[in-house]
Amino acid sequence: MKKKGEMKKVKKVKDKVNDGQDDDPWWWLVQEGIRPSFLCISLFALLVRVAVGLHPYSGAGTPPKFGDYEAQRHWMETTLNLPSKDWYRNSSVNDLSYWGLDYPPLTAYQSYVHGVFLKTFDPDSVALFTSRGYESYLGKLLMRWTVLSSDVLIFFPAVLYFVLVYRSMRFGMGQNSDVAWHIAMILLNPCLILIDHGHFQYNCISLGLTIAAIAAALSQKDLVASVLYCLALNHKQMSAYFAPAFFGYLLGKCLRKKNPLLEVTKLGLMVIGTFAVVWWPYLQSKDAALAVLSRLAPFERGIYEDYVANFWCTSSVLVKWKKLYSTQSLRIFSLAATFITCLPSMVQQILAPSSKGFLYALLNSSFSFYLFSFQVHEKSILLPLLPLTLLALEESHSILWLTHFAMFSMFPLLHRDKLVLAYMALYALFILVYFAPCGPGGRCHGTKTLDNTQKTKRSVDFITSITFHPLVMGFLGLCSLILHVIYLTMHPPNKYPFLFEAVIMLICFSQFVLFTFYFNSKQWMLSKHLTSKDKQKKLI
C-alpha cells in the first residue's frame, strides 16, 4: 500500500513537471537585453578561444620552415628591430625568403605593437636573427594572448555594433533569444576560431574591421564605413574579396542622393586619405611603394596552393592549367573569371542598393573571389563565411550546411596542424549551438513555417530543392563522415598520395558552386521582390 502511495506521489510530481513548460530556456541569458547577453556569450566565446589556444599551432616543432606561427613571430622580430623602410626590402638584415613580410602595412604596424608586448615579457622571443624557430611555453602563451587581445579589442566590439544595427534594422522581428543565437553563431564560428587560435593567424582583425564597416554602412554612415573597410583592406589584402560589394552598395547609394558627384568625391577622398595615412612611410619614393606592392602580390607562388576547393584547383584534375599556360595568362584568366562572376551581384547593388541585398552581395563577391581568383588558400573560406554568419537568421539552413563544408575543406590543413581534437570539439559545439533548444536552428528544421513555404515557391525553388533535399543532405553528410574516418585511419595508395584531399576538394567545390548560384539568385529575387512591392505601393 505504501509503495503505491509513493508511486502516486512520483506521478503527481511528473505531472507537475509537464505542466510548467512554457518558459523560455534562454530566459536567464536574454532577460536583460542584448548587451548583457552579448557579454555572457562573448565570455563563453573567449573561453572557447582560450581553450583552443592550448592546442598546438601550425608548424610546431617542425624545423626549418615551421608554419604561420613562426611567420607571425618573425614579422614581430623584423618590425621591432628594423626601421620601417627595411620591412619590405630584401637586405642583409632582412631575408625575405624566410617568411618575408607579405601583408599590407597595417599588419606590419600590428606586428610592431605585438612585438613590443612580447619584448617586455620575453625578450628572447623577438631577438633579431637568434630567435628564428624560437619555441617556448611562455612565448606560445604570449603569442596566443596577442591574438586573444586583438579578438577582444576589435572583433567582439564590431560584432556587438553589427548586432545592434541589425536588430534596429529589422526591429520588432524575432525574440531576444534569436538575437542571442545570432550572436553565438557569429562569435562561435568554428572555422575562424580554429584558424586564429589554433592554426595561428590574425584574421579577427581584418574580419572585425570588415564587420564594423558593414555595420557602419548599414546604419548610413558611409564615410566611416569606407574608412573602416580601407583599414581592413590594409590589414589583409584578402579583404579585397568584399570590394565589389562595398563598391556597388556605396556607389548605388550615392547615385540615389541629391548630389551624386559630391558624395562620390567625398568617399573617394576618404579612401585616398586613409590609404595615404597607412602607407605614409612608403610614399616617399616610388621604389619603396612598388617594393611593398610587389610583396603583396606574390604571383610567383602559382595559381593555387595545396588542395583548395576552388575552380582552378578542382578543374586541374582534368586540365593542367599550370603546365598549359604561363602565369601571366593565368593571371588574366583568373581576373576575368572573378570579375565576370561577381559582376551580377555588384550591378544589382548599384541598381537597387538595399541592406539585405548588400549582405548577399558581400557573400556573392567573396564567393566568386574564393572560387576564381589567383592564389587562393583553404583559409580564404573564412571570408565568404563571414557575411553568411551575419545573415544567419535569414539563411539558417545554408549556414549549417556551408559551415559543414567549410570545416571539411579545411580538415586536411587542420589535421596537419594536429588540431583534430579541437576540430571535432568545435564542430560539435557548432552543431549544439545551432540546434539549441527553442533556437531558430532547431525550429526551422522541425516544422516548416508559413514563411518558408512561400519563399520556396519562387524560381530559387529548383536549387533549394536540390541542396536542401533530405536525401541529398543525408547522403553528403554520410559521405563526409566516412571520409573523415577514412582520412584519419587509412593511408592513401602510393600511386595517388593526395587522393583523399582531392575527393574532399571535389565534394566541397560542388557544394560551393551550388551555393554561389543559390545566393546569386536569392539576391536577384530580393530586388524583384522589392520592386514588385514598390509597384504595389505606388498602385495603392
- With CB under 8 A as the rule, give the number of residues binding another protein: 49
Do 512 and 371 form a contact (C-beta atoms < 8 A)?
yes
Least Cβ distance, residue 57 to another protein (angstroms): 12
Least Cβ distance, residue 16 to another protein (angstroms): 6
**From candidates 261, 262, 290, 421, binder to another protein by CB under 8 A:** 421
Distance, in Å, from the CA atom of 155 to the CA atom of 187, rounded to the nearest integer, reads 9
Per CB under 8 A, 31 contacts another protein: yes
145's CB contacts (< 8 A; 6+ apart) are 117
Dihedral angle of Cα 81, 100, 271, 364, to the nearest 10 degrees: -140
Cα-based distances in Å from 191 to 57, 180, 197? 15, 20, 10
Report helix, strand or coil for 37.
helix
**From candidates 138, 335, 481, 488, binder to another protein by CB under 8 A:** 138
Written as one letter, the residue type at 439 is: G
Neighbours of 275 (CB within 10 A): 17
Dihedral angle of Cα 43, 47, 48, 49, to the nearest 10 degrees: 100
Per CB under 8 A, 116 contacts another protein: no
- Which of 214, 71, 185 lies closest to 133, judged by CA? 71
- Which of 52, 46, 47 lies closest to 421, judged by CA? 52
**From candidates 432, 478, 481, 499, binder to another protein by CB under 8 A:** 432
Do 192 and 49 form a contact (C-beta atoms < 8 A)?
no
Q: Which stretch binds another protein (CB under 8 A): 13-21, 103-111, 160-168, 256-264?
A: 13-21
**From candidates 93, 116, 141, 169, binder to another protein by CB under 8 A:** 141
Per CB under 8 A, 44 contacts another protein: yes
Least Cβ distance, residue 198 to another protein (angstroms): 10
Written as one letter, the residue type at 344 is: P
Q: C-alpha grid cell for residue 59? A: 608548424
Per CB under 8 A, 8 contacts another protein: no
Dihedral angle of Cα 299, 300, 306, 309, to the nearest 10 degrees: 20
Per CB under 8 A, 490 contacts another protein: no
- Site track 142-181 with another protein (rule: CB under 8 A), x = hit: x--x------------------------------------
- Site track 370-409 with another protein (rule: CB under 8 A), x = hit: ----------------------------------------
- Which of 173, 143, 142, 131 lies closest to 68, judged by CA? 143
Least Cβ distance, residue 159 to another protein (angstroms): 18
Per CB under 8 A, 6 contacts another protein: yes
Per CB under 8 A, 214 contacts another protein: no
**Site for another protein, rule CB under 8 A:** 6, 9-10, 13-14, 16-23, 25, 27-28, 31-32, 36, 39-40, 43-44, 46-48, 50-52, 54-56, 121, 138, 141-142, 145, 421-422, 424-426, 428-429, 432-433, 435-437
